[in-house]
Structure 1
């Protein structure tokens, strides 16, 4: 019975660890996306960092990625940046992998 309980605790720990990595990777992806969008909007380095933090915070509005997408898309359009919605979605998809790799490499 102890073996079963140890295995169960191991599974629970792995699940918690995986969930934490997913959360960190999503936050990192949103930060990188915010920095990318800030560059297209012509923001200074300081304002780009602030904007990236706003993008990360926007992800807490609702489940999924649509809240982040709407923020980025709306802000880029408001600044007149020549970035299409398809380009934003493509960049979001690209940055998922980049963010995962960064988080995993940090340990």
Structure 2
């Protein structure tokens, strides 16, 4: 019985750890996306960091990544940035891979 409980606790700990890594990677992806978008919109370094934080916060509006996409897309259009929705989605996919590698490397 103790072995079963130990295994269950181990699986719960792994699930919690994996969830934490996934959360960190998503937040990192959003930050990277925000910094890239800020550059495309011509924001200075200070405003770029503030904008990246706004993009990270936008992810808490609803489950999934569509809230982040909508924010960045709308902001790009408002600033008349020469960026398509397809380019934003490509960057999101690119940055999720980069973010996962960075988070795993950090431990």
2:18 counterpart of 1:18: yes
Equivalences for residues 1-107 of structure 1 within 5 A: 1-107=1-107
Structure 2 residue ranges without an equivalent (≥5): none
Tell me the TM-score normalised to structure 2 length: 0.99
Query: In angstroms, what is the RMSD of aligned CA positions?
Result: 0.4
With structure 1 as the length reference, what TM-score do the two structures score?
0.99
Gaps of at least 5 residues in structure 1 are none
1:61 CA displacement: 0.5
For residues 32-84 of structure 1, the C-alpha deviation after alignment (integer angstroms, 9 at most, x for no partner) is 00000000000000100000000000000011111000000000111010000
SS at match of 2:64: coil
Q: Which runs of 4+ in 1 moved over 2 A?
A: none
The number of residues matched between the two structures is 107
